[in-house]
Structure 1
Amino acid sequence: MKALIYVKKSRSLGSIFFSRRTHSRAGCIRQINQDRPHADPMKIARLPFIVIVLGLLVSPFATVSAMYDGGTNVPQKYAEAVVFNAHETLRDMREQSNKKQAERERAREREGFRQNARYGEIRLLNYGTVLVKGRHWARCSVGQSWDGTTCTGTPVSATLGEAKELVRIMMRSGGYAGYTDWRLPTILELESLRVCESGYHSWTLGQIGGLANIPKSKNIRRSCNDLSEIRQPTIENTVFPSTPKGVFWSQTFHMRGPINPDFYVRYPTMKKLTPSNYALDFATGDISGHSVSRSYHIRLVRDAR
């Protein structure tokens, strides 16, 4: 009886080992599969999705490496297509840039901006005014009227005192073109409008003498070079139409009379000196001092803000 119980216990403890040793191969495989944990069905379903994502992530790097590996792994047609697309993209970029630049230029033209060969960029404004070299100018001389395309009428001629008073009356009466701060130009401002196609004289205002009371006068030429080849008037007529071939006042003084009243008593042979201001003759391009009692033309200017 004890022997039987021993045999049964020994078989119950060693049944698995015994069965793996003695059963057929199919039985062994079946037993092993029964011993393993069951696979998760969700993990198995996610495998194709993971493989696809990894493929999408790796493929661009593989393509870039193939493009820059010397071209050995890139088909010829594909390489040519890449180069053609680059040229086409660059061409499109330049076309878009040119279109934008043209649109900007058209917008500036609508706002009155123009390129002038002698004055650089100018801006034509309403009521016959123009921006030239940072100054706001009246295109017509005082006494003329702007008809929308040109200046009509006869410009006035006045002494320097009359010119200053005339400008003051105009400003008190409402001004011009919507502004009431017009004034006579300085000689440097007036000179900036001068155009000498034949060149300039070798003399500068600084070489005239101590009477040239102008900052930076050493750089300003006194007149145009060859009077026989001067185009009159010496101003850009497309910007300042119907400008008379005459002298225009500046507010820059040239010389004042002697302070000492005994000057002419002590020097009776000296011609009596009268105050003078600089003026510019647009017939010759000459800049010189003129007696304030003479009558010349007037052009208005204001500071551009």
Structure 2
Amino acid sequence: MKRKWLENPGGGISRIEELTPEEQVRSEASTAVKETGTKAEKPQDIQKTDKASGEKKKSASDKKRKAGNSKKQLAENGETLLDVSKGDIRITLNGATGGGLTENESSLNPKGYWIIGKTSDYNIEVKKDVTTSITMENVKVTSGKSSARLDSVNVSHANVVLTVLGKNELICKTASPQEGSIPGTGCALAKDGMDGSLAIQCSKSNKIGHKCDDQCGTLIVKGNSEIMHAGALGSTRRNILDTYDSGFANLTIYGGNLEVAGGAHCPGIGSACVSEKNGGGYTKNIVIAGGEY
């Protein structure tokens, strides 16, 4: 059987392009026009070796930004480079904000976003109606330190293709102290509502016959097992009374090594408990098409 995959699942970075704000506007406008008539690029290998020296070329996380640099940085595949350790990342219909950017984007990058960094102070959100691709490379986000950031990553009501490189960890420590309590609960990777979509893959998911091994990207999604309703990959307990936000739907796993576990009284993948009884939402359309599982 021929495997299906999503195009442009990322690829290794061998250089970073820097754009001034003026160049950024021109580049984004040009890219948006080109995207309407061209196919997305096929993925490249995660790491490449320099033939002369035999040394592996540096990945995105090895590339350091210059202090106070006002230029936007792009991965070689055209994705905007963001660092969650430098601030909250918000991807909106008008582009990205935070994540080390000194100036907000003026439009959504059609190539997508490459995210690095480790934090327990910030988180990542893709806003409603956004359609985008995200590459995560060795990212670790732990929620629970601030009540303003209940989820490590939230992609509710958006359409996101997530490519994992290296080891990525999303940990949720926001939960209720007892059964029945709703406010203050979150998810490691939250997707509230029956609309939108989330696809997860490794960078080689487009190769026919590929089976993920320890060389492929890993995504660990966990809720704290010692507390109630700390969600993993699914909808949040806090929104079960909302008909728009209750339920979890449209997840496809094309590849990658996934380790998923919810907190006490919480699913690893799926809707928060009693979602359908309260808000009418439920778990629907989960497809596993590849990867190690």
TM-score by length of 2: 0.22
Between structures 1 and 2, the one with greater helix share? 1
* Structure having the higher Rg: 1
Between structures 1 and 2, the one with greater strand share? 2
